[in-house]
Amino acid sequence: MSEFIMDRLSQLLGRVKPGDPIVLEGRDIPSVAKFLKSDECKNVFLMVGAGISTSAGIPDFRSPDTGLYANLAKLHLPYPEAVFDIRYFSQNPKPFYTLAAELYPGYYRPTITHSFIRLLAEKGKLYTCFTQNIDTLERRAGVPVEKIFEAHGSFATQRCIKCKTEYPTEEMMQHVKKAEVPHCNSEGCDGVVKPDIVFFGEGLPDTFESAIRNLEEADLLIIMGTSLTVYPFAALRSMVPAKCPRVLINLDRVGDIGARADDVALLMACDEAVRKLCDEIGDGWTEDLERLWAETENSYTPRSAEEPSVIGKGDKAKVKEGKLPNNPHLEDEVARIAKMVEEKMKVGDEEAGPSKEDKPAAAEEPQPAEPAEVSAASAKPEPSGAPKAGAETPALEKPAAVAELAGATHPTPHYEDGELSVPQTKPSEEGPEGGDK
């Protein structure tokens, strides 16, 4: 329900009726490759999520069986997302640092998809890579730091949550390797140190609003390995110009991809898709891609197979049984978003005029055109290691429940001063563009 409402808002803010492709020759890999190679495609923007790192051995967050949230019972959390909840972290940071010891940068090699991002930069095509990932694998692959926008922060820096003093990286690494909680070195503080990762309940980086304005310059948007359920990040897909082709590379169709004339869905593993694109482009792109990936071979130290893993299997059943409840802290925030969205929808429907029949607003929406699909089987990595026993952690006080919007899928809202704003971009001839902050 909540995901539908957020997608509905994105369509209201950037609605374009689908039809035959306008910019691309077709909705397939050869057409995307031809456009990417052309002089008309100068500014490529990327939106990437955990799916581009799964082949490196890092689990994504929301896959039902292999995702991180479905496999954290060993941390004895009150709800899976609590491991990244700022309120819970302030009370008990130990579960996060137990998990961080396994996910900390340095244990994983960048994937060939990360090297593809670097290749786009070397070819002079990459404008900005917006990433939800905190694993810093874009940096390790050699993507220029100025081309990366880490929307949810990363492990690259850290600071005290109390006095905000930065904490030395070397000391942080030593604490994380031992799964120990670091404390501030400042005299008289002793606050808990946290990586500069955006937790639930925290605002996005101050530079987010200025960075998303550049999306008006996009010639091509490539969306890879993301469920497009985490807002406001997911709304970026609606902030590119109406004439900008949007290419989804993912195992599943997500969001509103297909609502625009030049939308393409390549339903396959990210690594397979980027190789196919480079093969189709030719002119040495495949050789350059493999060369850049080969350079990452010594960029990491793999975890020992004997090291126990906090990420286990089998928690999905416990979620169904109610033993791992959904995040109650987000329910009020989801309700607040829903109220704002409903107001936006009401305004949009009033501008469209009264309907002939008494139907919900969603029924009046034209159905998105089905983009061509390219499907391929893809095996997901299985979490490894044996579970490690842990102590029970204190639960958070549960806010007021919101019945229908508190389902299994939660968008992850972020606020500044308790409000979610919708920055407006310059309208195009085809229709207004905009999205959530």
Percentages helix, strand, coil for the chain (3-state, rounded to 5) are 35, 10, 55
HSE-CB at 422 with a 13 A cutoff on CA atoms is: 18
Distances (CA, A) of 75 to 96, 136, 347: 9, 24, 45
Pure H helices in 92-197 = 94-103, 112-122, 137-140, 169-177
Length of the chain counted residue by residue: 437
Q: Are 197 and 222 in contact, with CB atoms under 8 Å apart?
A: no
Question: Phi/psi at 339 (nearest 5 deg)?
Answer: -65, -45
Rounded to an integer, what distance in angstroms lies between the CA atom of residue 315 and that of residue 295? 37
Rounded to an integer, what distance in angstroms lies between the CA atom of residue 112 and that of residue 54? 11
Distances (CA, A) of 109 to 139, 141, 190, 256: 11, 8, 34, 32
Q: Tokens 């952690």 appear where?
A: 393
Helix (H) or strand (E) holding 46: strand 44-48
Q: Where are the beta strands (DSSP E) in 49-188?
A: 126-131, 148-150, 153-160
Q: Are 24 and 32 in contact, with CB atoms under 8 Å apart?
A: yes
Q: Are 193 and 180 in contact, with CB atoms under 8 Å apart?
A: no
Nearest to 220 by CA among 408, 24, 83: 24
C-alpha dihedral sign at 194, 200, 202, 204: positive
Q: Are 233 and 130 in contact, with CB atoms under 8 Å apart?
A: yes
Beta-bridge partners for 192? 183
**Kind of pairing between the strands at 193-197 and 220-224:** unpaired
Residues with a catalytic annotation lie at 152
List CB contacts of 143: < 8 A, sequence separation 6 or more: 114, 117, 118, 121, 126, 129
Nearest to 118 by CA among 104, 131, 105, 106: 131
Helix (H) or strand (E) holding 279: helix 270-281
Q: In 10 A of CB 163, how many CB atoms?
A: 12
